[in-house]
Structure 1
Amino acid sequence: MEFQQSDVLKQLPKQFFASLVQKVQKKVQEGADIINLGQGNPDQPTPPHIVKAMQEAVAKPENHQYSSFRGTAKLKKAAAAFYEREYGVTLDPKTEIAILFGGKAGLVELPQCLLNPGDTLLVPDPGYPDYWSGAVLAGAHMVTMPLLEKNHFLPDYDLLPEDDKKKAKLMYLNYPNNPTGATANRSFFEETVTFAKDHKLCVVHDFAYGGIGFDGEKPLSFLQIEGAKETGIEIYTLSKTYNMAGWRVGFAAGNSSVIEAIELYQDHLFVSLFKATQDAAAEALLSDQTCVQVQNDRYEKRRNVWIAACKEIGWEVSAPKGSFFAWLKVPEGYTSEAFSDLLLEKAHVVVAPGNGFGDHGEGYVRAGLLTSEERLQEAAQRIAALNLFEKKPLTT
């Protein structure tokens, strides 16, 4: 017998990354030397002191039992201490921190925690595709907020239809931004707090790339803004800051009523994370942060090399201010997908087509700075050989 999937599963958005992976795998199987800039998976190992903490924690028999449903007090206190140290934000670890099975799980869960079928959810466009998944699973009505280059890839709340603003109950933001690499300033977050209060909606700030900022600018936490904790939460993952993508550990911080909703929802799905993973995560948050600075410097050097190499071949691009992504306009006459396919077929360079991140991603591709400086330079030279760009003479 073959059993039919539920209507909810049938409505889930297609995972465009899956089709991209299939295209890449086909080329690899054909023997092509692929430079993969299409992924969002950190290429460096987890720092040794975090791995050591995990090894020691795994050996403890008391960690082999079910963890407490809502996470260990140790990790919650570590998360609160991390926010106090890094951002000057005071959080109650008992009521304002929820442990997550990675940031993605929290982002997808939240609409089911706070919305009823038909409720309105505001999402950025372009944006992380799993925001859409959460909307579908909750039966929510999704309204997109265009992120335009002319507005520094920040949503303009004044342009949203009044009816949508009145109905909205939840809004996602993400800075440093995936896929654009844009960052948010204090005035924008202050405007966001006012907007949320005026419309009585909850803000969810996806702070996945909070540990990656360039040109001496530390990414701003939404919770640093006065009144932010009244209007929403921030989701932090250890995946990017500490190269712990496969460990699946993160946390939500902020408004206590939202935290309680997350905790209640997760009570029915999980028995929290493996205790050893929580111990290692606490070590990451509390220990010496030199590894974070080293990582940030590595990404900044890669960014500088990649942007310089692109400009050298005549590709007019802008440098991202944060994250490990660059958001690049495609040449005239190409769609995002056609250009991505061309680079894969002819240059064996993988980038992610911008339309996979929303309608306003059309006309762009996303390149990940997740390979060596040498390979980034090589990727630019391979693209140059396609003669898609007109190299401009150097000016003095």
Structure 2
Amino acid sequence: MDKDFFKIRRLPPYVFAEVNAMKARARACNEDIIDFGMGNPDFPTPPHIVAKLTETVVDPRTHRYSESRGIKGLRRALAGYYERRFGVSVDPETEVVVTLGSKEGLANLASAISSPGDMILVPNPSYPIHQFGFIIAGASVRNIPVKPDGDFLAALERAVQHSVPKPVAVVLNYPNNPTAEVATLDFYGQVVDFCRHHEIYILSDVAYAEIYFDGNPPPSILQIPGAKDLAVEFTSMSKTYSMPGWRIGFACGNARLIAALARVKSYLDYGAFTPVQVAAAAALNGPQDCVVEMRERYRQRRDVLIGGLKAAGWDLPSPPATMFAWAPIPPAFRHLGSVEFAKLVLREAKVAVAPGLGFGEHGDGFVRFALVENSHRTRQAVRSLKSFLGRYHNVVEMAEKRMTPAE
């Protein structure tokens, strides 16, 4: 009776757990930890959205079971958003379903379309649910590159040639978490052409489509003519409107995939609390200046972090989108790996970052900063990191001693 369950055995230990435990111990000792570890937006939800929630929740009729696939008003609001933002028409009756955040939607769609032995193509590194949603569902995962370029397309070709059985679906995520890569419509067009030819579904995650800083707004794969024949796209209210705890997301696109997701959900949930759905519709239909303001505040934080670290000797790319910076581990520390480096930074600089290994083995040379501390706190973190980097000989030696087993 003490044997691990089969599906649990397929899940590796949670990489972030060790760093999180260290963080909790430090805070228990009243240490001030500047936390860039989790992508948990710190901005309050805009007042007009909260006001709609409080207005609706006093009506006792809204306290009953909701609709698993989402109330009609919210599905229509999402369709309106796609029309305004991307110029894409989706049918709110057959091509849209409301999810309990995009994470739940991805996991339930994985369960709906996967059988044991099915092959799914997932970038590495990637947001964990992109891979483990399918692993939990019993499928097999083959890793492909993240960067949306010729190497990605070549990896698709190799995967079709060398995978038995042929891949069922490919996961895309642009703007990407954790790397902040952004895709173009030309890239999406090539992926759609390839997947149509080989009869492979596309699952696109655009949760960060409204957090962009440079150039044009990130596109949707559904802008490609015919993409709805094989693609479904997930998005979320969490980042765009700073509503992470509200747990509202969406899937839209291919009617067959949407129907499969809706059918699985009908067995698992009754939908989000109706007042939350009404407030989410108010967010999509209402004034969008709150989104512009949020985007600018993330941009300011990005510039403070990237500029400050560069001046401190840690040069990392400036992310064009998302609320993350994907930072190569400085050369002097690279041999430690991302988990030990993250623990070292937490211990010595009192700054928490996410180890890249948590997003896949190809992320082990990186750590991820989430832009969830205000500019003042970010400057404080930069000063602490500068001091840490300036004495790297000592801290590396100490870290290596900690890693060496006692004889």
Please report the TM-score for the alignment, with normalisation by the length of structure 2.
Answer: 0.91
Distance of aligned partners of 1:69 and 1:358 in 2 relative to their CA distance in 1, 3 Å threshold: closer
Aligned partner of 1:108: which letter?
A
* SS across alignment from 2:168: strand
* SS across alignment from 2:268: coil
Unaligned runs of 5+ in 2: 393-407
Distance of aligned partners of 1:295 and 1:154 in 2 relative to their CA distance in 1, 3 Å threshold: farther
Unaligned runs of 5+ in 1: 391-396
Distance of aligned partners of 1:8 and 1:165 in 2 relative to their CA distance in 1, 3 Å threshold: closer
Alignment of 1:3-152 (within 5 A): 6-147=5-146
**Matching residue of 1:238:** 237
- Cα deviation code 1:75-129 (max 9, x no counterpart): 1111101111111110100000011011110111122111211000111100011
Aligned partner of 2:63: which letter?
H
Distance 1:126 1:204 in 2: 16
Distance 2:202 2:164 in 1: 13
| Aligned residues between the structures | 388
- Cα deviation code 1:228-270 (max 9, x no counterpart): 2112111011000001100011110100000000000001101
Which structure has more helix as a fraction of its residues? 2
Whether 1:385 aligns to 2:387 is: yes
Distance of aligned partners of 1:367 and 1:88 in 2 relative to their CA distance in 1, 3 Å threshold: same
- Cα deviation code 1:23-43 (max 9, x no counterpart): 211111122111101111001
State whether residues 154 and 184 of structure 1, in contact with CA within 8 Å, keep that contact through their aligned partners in structure 2.
Answer: no
After TM superposition, give the deviation of residue 148 of structure 1 in Å. 5.3
Alignment of 1:171-250 (within 5 A): 171-250=170-249
After TM superposition, give the deviation of residue 389 of structure 1 in Å. 8.9
**Matching residue of 1:345:** 347
After TM superposition, give the deviation of residue 19 of structure 1 in Å. 3.0
Distance 2:319 2:153 in 1: 17
Distance of aligned partners of 1:262 and 1:21 in 2 relative to their CA distance in 1, 3 Å threshold: same
State whether residues 146 and 360 of structure 1, in contact with CA within 8 Å, keep that contact through their aligned partners in structure 2.
Answer: no
Distance 1:10 1:165 in 2: 23
State whether residues 69 and 99 of structure 2, in contact with CA within 8 Å, keep that contact through their aligned partners in structure 1.
Answer: no
Distance of aligned partners of 1:165 and 1:236 in 2 relative to their CA distance in 1, 3 Å threshold: farther
- Cα deviation code 1:133-176 (max 9, x no counterpart): 21122110100112359x59966535634223871001111111
- Cα deviation code 1:298-357 (max 9, x no counterpart): 111111111111111111211011100000110124221222111101000011111111
- Cα deviation code 1:21-73 (max 9, x no counterpart): 21211111122111101111001110000000000111112111111332211
* SS across alignment from 2:345: helix
* SS across alignment from 2:122: strand
Distance 1:267 1:354 in 2: 36
State whether residues 124 and 155 of structure 1, in contact with CA within 8 Å, keep that contact through their aligned partners in structure 2.
Answer: no
**Matching residue of 2:257:** 258
Distance of aligned partners of 1:33 and 1:154 in 2 relative to their CA distance in 1, 3 Å threshold: farther
Moved more, 68-77 or 185-194: 68-77
Distance of aligned partners of 1:157 and 1:10 in 2 relative to their CA distance in 1, 3 Å threshold: closer
**Matching residue of 1:394:** none
Distance of aligned partners of 1:93 and 1:55 in 2 relative to their CA distance in 1, 3 Å threshold: same
Distance 1:330 1:388 in 2: 15
**Sequence identity (%):** 38
